Amino acid sequence: MANLKEVKERINSVVSTQQITKAMKMVSAAKLRRAQDKIIQMRPYSQKLTNILNNVSAASEGSADVVYAQKREVKKVLIIPVTSDKGLCGAFNTNIIKATNAAIKNQFVGKDITILPLGKKSNEYFLKAGHNVISDYFTIFQDLTFENVRKAAEFAMKSFVEGEYDQVYVVYNEFKNVATQIVRTEQFLPMAKEENTAEEKAADVDYILEPSRAYIIEELVPTSLKIQLYKAVLESNASEHGARMTAMDKATDNAGDLLKELRLMYNRSRQAAITNEILEIVAGANALG
């Protein structure tokens, strides 16, 4: 039978852990609401900007003259995995790292791979794994603003235009709901034209463009790319808090189940100890008699 003191210490330890996980769940829930509001507001803007760009460029000669759409033989690839700075969020970071490794082994076999991590966890992992890592922007979640994301996007865009990389991919978690995050591996550069839905085509507008169509496309394309990366980062941020909230909720429930078992064990041990004491007293009384 387990020692009463040891069981009592384990109960106190689990109670303390349960209090911590419950507090972390509440903190994540508060952060999730703010992050969810941001991504819900960003999605329509990002989609509308993409639709406008598609509509404007549809009547032009195409995207061949856009530097960010130039396709060339793929030799060097830049991958941007978006993870969190902290753990305790279930498989959130692990899924991104697995998806990135899968892309390197399957999709980019024989290519020169460079990693541009956004988030401390991905930076630590890929440095330890021996990859060529650019660690200039991994602290982005310490101050998550469009300005900071813009710097990372401009670096990738400039490197692509200058021919340092032939393709740029982003790997991130898309926020669906609190319990579900979908891992996305999307081509960032060269940019690909997205097909509008039937409803969007029906709502196409014949824009009057000043000073020229070419100038508008030249201005819209970089903005659209920066917004695209910012949206991916916001998706990942909301997904992180959702994943941590779910993980801490499960941890709190598991701690509750463990407490029930430990308290049952404690009561059984205590009853066994009391029974032994009674038996000893009775045996002593009989001996004296």
Going by CATH, does the domain composed of 22-247 fall within 3.40.1380.10? Answer: yes
Kindly give the confidence (pLDDT) of every residue in the chain, 289 residues in length, as a single tens digit, with 9 standing for 90 and above.
Answer: 458 888 889 999 999 999 999 999 999 999 999 999 999 999 898 888 877 777 766 555 544 467 888 888 999 999 999 999 998 998 999 999 999 999 999 999 989 999 999 999 999 999 999 999 999 999 999 999 999 999 999 999 999 999 999 999 999 999 998 888 999 999 998 887 665 555 555 455 566 767 777 777 777 888 889 999 999 999 999 999 999 999 999 999 999 999 999 999 888 888 888 888 888 888 887 887 6
89 is catalytic: yes
pLDDT at 216: 75
pLDDT at 64: 47
The single residue of 14, 42, 78, 89 carrying the catalytic annotation is 89
Q: Is the dihedral of CA 233, 238, 241, 245 positive or negative?
A: negative
Q: How far is CA 246 from CA 21, 88, 215, in A?
A: 11, 10, 47
Strands (E), 31-165: 76-81, 112-115, 132-133
Where do the domains of the chain lie?
Answer: 22-247
Q: How many CB atoms lie within 10 A of CB 61?
A: 9
